[in-house]
Structure 1
Amino acid sequence: MLKKIFKQTIQINQIPKYFLASPKPNFPIDKIRNFNIIAHIDHGKSTLADRILEMTGTIVKGEQYLDKLQVEKERGITVKAQTAAMTYEYKGEKYLLNLIDTPGHVDFHYEVSRSMRSCSGSLLLVDACQGIQAQTLSNYEKAKDNGLKIIPVINKIDMPAAHPEEVAENMQLQFDVEKEDIHFISAKTGVGVDGVLRAVVEKLDPPKADINKPFKGFLIDSWFIKDQGVVMLVQVKDGCIAKGEQIMSCAFKKRYDIFEVGILNPEMTPQNSLTAGQVGYIFTNMKAVSDARVGDTFHKPDEEVEPEQGFQEARPMVFAGLYPDDPEDYMQLEKSIYKLALTDPAVHIYKESSAALGNGFRCGFLGLLHMDVFKQRLDDEYNLDCFLTTPSVPYRAKLRNSQKILEVENALMAPDDGLVEHYEEPLAEATILCPKEYVSAVMNLADERRGEQKEINIVDEKRFKLKYTFPLSEIITDFFDKLKSATQGYASLDYYHSGFREAKIKKLVILLMGEPVDSLSFMVHERRAHDFGKNICKKLKEKLPGQQFTVAIQAKLGSKIIAREEIPALRKNVTAKCYGGDYSRKKKLLERQKEGKKNMRSIGRVQIGKDTFVDILKN
């Protein structure tokens, strides 16, 4: 079967190396296909996208095109959704194919979700070596929930470790597809890709759109171009729009003049107009990316339309402090961080000040990878020396004798314990795939992280699928590393935020000589509090210099001291000069030293240096 595919498929080196002229505007709706590629991370989405662009003559053969960010190239991941319009000739007729390349990592699921809203089908890509993974299942479920048709594709069939027939059997069981509908390809060499393009035309429906209705555009994405403004990526649901016209936002009721419309081919290519069914960009006099809310609906000011429903805006679920290494770099950091945020509206930024760390920012991210990518982009694009504090999750505090609920993103914002009736912590629904011999190890790890098992199923003869509900705080730091370690690297994980639940959360404060250190305040679960407090106290004991009096370091949970460490007093040998004589002389000197230390202990203060704070709080 695979030999047949190799013989019938056009090889990439046979594709002429030239850029195709931009697709002509005003394609009939029945000749338009909008689709995306969904897969687990590193299963070859961006490589397949580049092969498709090459085989349609849209770009010349070369490096990965859709992954444009430096961080995307370095890490081999897709961070931003990218779109490309291309023309494909099939049975003597030309079709307009709009491809949206989406991220595979869990942190960027909002990019996947919004791309699905603009598609009629998805290429479900599975690695022939790794098989079905946790995010494969998750993305499949999202696609089905959005009513998309699925085209199953098995990639990397040219790899020595590939077992495509076995993977195909698993896909039949998990995704209810027929074997003859599965495409076996190598995105790297181009084998089988032409068959995928034919399937896109044959099996996917044209977009549900009506050119005779008033213009309605659904906002998929937006980005900021320096010295020009905001560019919006939209799908034209109905009607048409052209340069020189005006549009209005359903969310903000603001009007904007249109300077340019066009398609991404894959670069911005101006057109006279965008018509129903097309995906393209609109450049207006909008100056703030915050006015381009993803999921918003745009229309002409004199034509009312029904806004698109059902889209949930991305919400940050991981918060961390961002501070400059040198306080003098604060203004440069402020300027750079807000510039970068223009290209990433999912990041939430607030100014904050710490007595220990100075002026900085409290940033909200979608997840840990999102946080790391944002920090790396600051380093790559602005050459800044800064650091992130340990990430935390947002909690909700239900106040006593009140219906008010406070969002607590930072322990310093937490109200006094006496005012709080209870706290609620964010939850995550997690799917874990692992070999059967490691199921016990995974279950033990899940129990340690307060996981509640929802179901356990057999994926195939070698692997199990486990579904858990976890507190988000238990899995955002080192859970994935621990999972990989427990399964020798064979497990995969996918999770999504699933609401809040009441929990025994309390504020833990570190005391130094009986005085609270505000910068060392944390929100922790009662079950974790003792170990967490003890760990912080030990770190402080190691980092703080000795004094001439005993330094007490304590961890306080509510009104109870749960951990304590002491730094012994530095002792001077006051009897060194006594070479003989009555012992009472030595005793008198020792008593005087003891009294002096007692006085110092009552008035002494211990200063914690910035480096110590950074070592303890740094992520």
Structure 2
Amino acid sequence: MASLPSVETKYIRNFCIIAHIDHGKSTLADRLLEETGAVTSREMKSQLLDDLALERQRGITIKARAVAMPFQRDGIDYQLNLIDTPGHVDFQYEVSRSLACCEGALLLVDAFQGVEAQTMANAFAAMEHDLTIVPVINKIDLVHARSDEVAEEMMNSLGTDPDECVRVSAKTGQGVAGLLDAIIDRIPPPTGDPGGALQAMVFDSNYDDFRGAITYIRVMQGTVRTGQKIRFLRAESEHEVVELGQFAPSRVACDELAAGQVGYLICNIKSLGDVHIGDTVTVPGKHSAEALPGYDQPRPMVYCGLFPSDGQEFSDLRDALERLAVNDPSFEFEPETSDALGFGFRCGFLGLLHMEIIQQRLENESDIDLVQTAPNVTYEIITKKGETLMIHKPQDVPDPGEIDEFRQPIVKCNVIVPEDYIGAVIQLCQERRGIQRNQEYLGAGRAMLTYNIPLAEVIYDLHDRIKSCTRGYGTLDYEIVGYEAADLSRLDILVNGNRVDALSVVCHRADADRRGRAVAKKLKTEIERHMFEVAVQAAIGSRVIARETVPAMRKNVTAKCYGGDVSRKRKLLQKQKEGKKRMKAIGNVEISQKAFMSVLSSGDD
């Protein structure tokens, strides 16, 4: 494709689409691409911007994608820069990065499902960034569409004017032309000066094996040109711009990017440490601009160990993790060793879906077979000496005698449900040690419940359980509010008296008996029988709370004794008993990989 026509800053519109999961963001992006002629009908395919194989396989957006769309109205050439964002709560960080690069946002709501938990979270985030919000009601072609009621719901919960709602069908294209007019008329143009000192925000990047790091930027001020020397302020490195361009939606090279434009630059950066999301790009020397505020560093809340099933793949796994970390700054990792699993990495994620996606991307893109330990959240411990420890893995929990206070992360959960299911959701939240903070009605028959719940009780399966008990109509959104003291303890699993570090978990003391008994029973069936009996124990500190015994293989040593004195049989049995005792003292218990995987995969069961 030829390069995009250059336009004045006042004719540029930067906007993103924010919505709850499955409200039609990616489909609406497809219609906008078609309507503006950014892609031909031959190139068109559904969910065009979801180009990761995993996105197409799961039908969800994981990475935010930018695309520039040329559009002509009344003889004037406009450039509409769209950033398509994910809807799942785990990828909220991707949304926040997109909001910082835009002046406006299309707030998309399903004409049947109405305002959902993530709709409100995204809308408030857009308001915090002072974005102009264009409310859009999608799926008006549905037989069960209730557009007027949804417009009223939006007014009650978000304060939007029902008359300003643009009604579209992303599937059929109905109303999309009117939406383009609303984007041009309502969203303000960027404010930057193309003649000022260069100041550009790095909002994303990925790694190409042939070109090195490809940096996605939004130019706030000034102009960047091919061949120019630039400086990354945070990385304190200087490079020459080899190629500039925009996404239309594939990469299209151009000679310069001016204030207000969104695009990419390639500088042959081979070192992954030179690119930081949220960094500022400027020119070296005395004409350089000040650093932009950037982004708050995301705090991973769920941790688990990733180990290669074949120890030889350790360096391959490290390279694959480094490449992923360039593309996803909310993911972090550090090396760790486990007595049971060997060398691997301790990885931090924003949530359980984020963890699952990273694991699948590693297996699909880098072809590495992984073993994953049980996920756990970050805890805070105040020791008797007054020190504050952040605990990312159960093995780091000190002995109970050294702990003054054990704190767990608490999240504020907003659950939006039809009123028929309020009782079931309240019961579920109370089972998860939730404390109710608020209950309000959004419209006819729909209520929002607000609870404070420990994060460890939320991440495993609360979302799925809410979907089950509300027949798919309930939606959940959560945000971290802080740490609170709780009656927690580390549950250790001992096999033949030795602690198995990979199976340790932190749990509430009231749950410890149930979980310890469940893991011990599971291991009893999975550990192969040895020549001596093997004790499988669950313990809190030095107190054993559950035990199962794997019986020894036994040879009938008295089979050859027929008749005669009973003392001869006793002597043989005593000899066998002493032999087994000696074996137990020096023998090692082999726990197969299959046994580990079965216990880890069973989770809370």
Residue identity opposite 1:311 in structure 2: Y
What is aligned with 2:4?
Answer: 23
Alignment match of 1:279 (pick from 242, 262, 282): 262
Alignment match of 2:376 (pick from 392, 400, 405): 392
Residue identity opposite 1:258 in structure 2: V
Alignment match of 1:445 (pick from 424, 428, 431): 428
3-state SS of paired residue (1:506): strand
Equivalent residues of 1:215, 1:239 under 8 A apart: yes
Q: Deviations over 1:379-416 (max 9, x none)?
A: 3323333232221222233343254x333222233344
Equivalent residues of 1:85, 1:96 under 8 A apart: yes
Moved more, 339-348 or 116-125: 339-348
Moved more, 96-105 or 233-242: 233-242
Alignment match of 2:515 (pick from 532, 535, 538): 532
Report sequence identity in percent.
Answer: 43
Moved more, 569-578 or 255-264: 569-578
Residue 360 (structure 2) pairs with residue 376 (structure 1): yes
Alignment match of 2:287 (pick from 288, 295, 303): 303
Query: What does 1:289-368 align with in structure 2 at a 5 Å threshold?
Result: 289-301=272-284, 302-309=286-293, 311-368=295-352
Moved more, 495-504 or 586-595: 586-595
Distance apart, 1:364 and its partner CA? 1.9
Residue 225 (structure 2) pairs with residue 251 (structure 1): no
What is aligned with 1:49?
Answer: 29
Residue identity opposite 2:511 in structure 1: R
Q: 1:229 to 1:593 in 2, by over 3 A?
A: closer
Q: Distance in 2 between matches of 1:97 and 1:428?
A: 37
Moved more, 503-512 or 534-543: 503-512
Residue identity opposite 2:147 in structure 1: P
Q: Distance in 1 between matches of 2:203 and 2:378?
A: 27
Q: Distance in 2 between matches of 1:182 and 1:71?
A: 33
Unaligned runs of 5+ in 2: none
Distance apart, 1:532 and its partner CA? 1.8
Query: What does 1:565-580 align with in structure 2 at a 5 Å threshold?
Result: 565-577=548-560, 579-580=562-563
3-state SS of paired residue (1:519): helix
3-state SS of paired residue (1:251): coil
Query: What does 1:162-201 align with in structure 2 at a 5 Å threshold?
Result: 162-201=145-184
Equivalent residues of 1:223, 1:289 under 8 A apart: no
Q: Distance in 2 between matches of 1:585 and 1:374?
A: 64
Distance apart, 1:194 and its partner CA? 0.7
Distance apart, 1:542 and its partner CA? 1.4
Residue 34 (structure 2) pairs with residue 58 (structure 1): no
What is aligned with 2:57?
Answer: 74
Q: Deviations over 1:282-316 (max 9, x none)?
A: 22243334432222222222224333227212232
Alignment match of 2:204 (pick from 204, 221, 226): 221
Moved more, 225-234 or 62-71: 225-234
Q: Distance in 1 between matches of 2:506 and 2:350?
A: 19
Moved more, 595-604 or 381-390: 595-604
Residue 407 (structure 2) pairs with residue 424 (structure 1): yes
TM-score computed with the length of structure 1 as normaliser: 0.90
3-state SS of paired residue (2:443): coil
3-state SS of paired residue (1:475): helix
Distance apart, 1:324 and its partner CA? 2.8
What is aligned with 1:13?
Answer: none
Moved more, 465-474 or 338-347: 338-347
Residue identity opposite 2:205 in structure 1: S
Distance apart, 1:179 and its partner CA? 2.1
Alignment match of 1:98 (pick from 60, 69, 81): 81
3-state SS of paired residue (1:111): helix
Residue identity opposite 1:287 in structure 2: K
Distance apart, 1:372 and its partner CA? 1.6
Q: Distance in 2 between matches of 1:434 and 1:331?
A: 47
What is aligned with 1:114?
Answer: 97
Aligned CA RMSD, in angstroms, stands at: 2.5
What is aligned with 1:555?
Answer: 538
Moved more, 130-139 or 519-528: 519-528
Q: 1:390 to 1:161 in 2, by over 3 A?
A: farther
Distance apart, 1:116 and its partner CA? 0.5
Unaligned runs of 5+ in 1: 1-18
Q: Deviations over 1:488-507 (max 9, x none)?
A: 22211112333333333332
Q: Distance in 1 between matches of 2:184 and 2:293?
A: 28
What is aligned with 1:288?
Answer: 271
Distance apart, 1:436 and its partner CA? 1.5
Q: Deviations over 1:211-245 (max 9, x none)?
A: 34322112211122222222222221122221222
Alignment match of 1:147 (pick from 127, 130, 136): 130
Equivalent residues of 1:44, 1:187 under 8 A apart: yes
Equivalent residues of 1:398, 1:423 under 8 A apart: yes
Q: Distance in 1 between matches of 2:292 and 2:324?
A: 29
Equivalent residues of 2:140, 2:169 under 8 A apart: yes
Q: Distance in 2 between matches of 1:332 and 1:110?
A: 27
Residue identity opposite 1:67 in structure 2: D
Moved more, 433-442 or 492-501: 492-501
Residue identity opposite 2:212 in structure 1: G
Equivalent residues of 2:15, 2:81 under 8 A apart: yes
Residue identity opposite 2:378 in structure 1: P
Query: What does 1:223-242 align with in structure 2 at a 5 Å threshold?
Result: 223-242=206-225
3-state SS of paired residue (2:57): helix
Distance apart, 1:259 and its partner CA? 1.9
Q: Distance in 1 between matches of 2:448 and 2:337?
A: 45
Q: Distance in 2 between matches of 1:244 and 1:45?
A: 37
Q: Distance in 1 between matches of 2:187 and 2:326?
A: 35
Distance apart, 1:586 and its partner CA? 5.2
Equivalent residues of 1:222, 1:289 under 8 A apart: no
Distance apart, 1:604 and its partner CA? 5.0
Q: 1:41 to 1:575 in 2, by over 3 A?
A: same
Q: Distance in 2 between matches of 1:250 and 1:525?
A: 45
3-state SS of paired residue (1:494): strand
Alignment match of 1:33 (pick from 6, 13, 29): 13
Q: 1:546 to 1:209 in 2, by over 3 A?
A: same
Q: Distance in 1 between matches of 2:98 and 2:501?
A: 43
Query: What does 1:468-479 align with in structure 2 at a 5 Å threshold?
Result: 468-479=451-462
Distance apart, 1:160 and its partner CA? 2.9
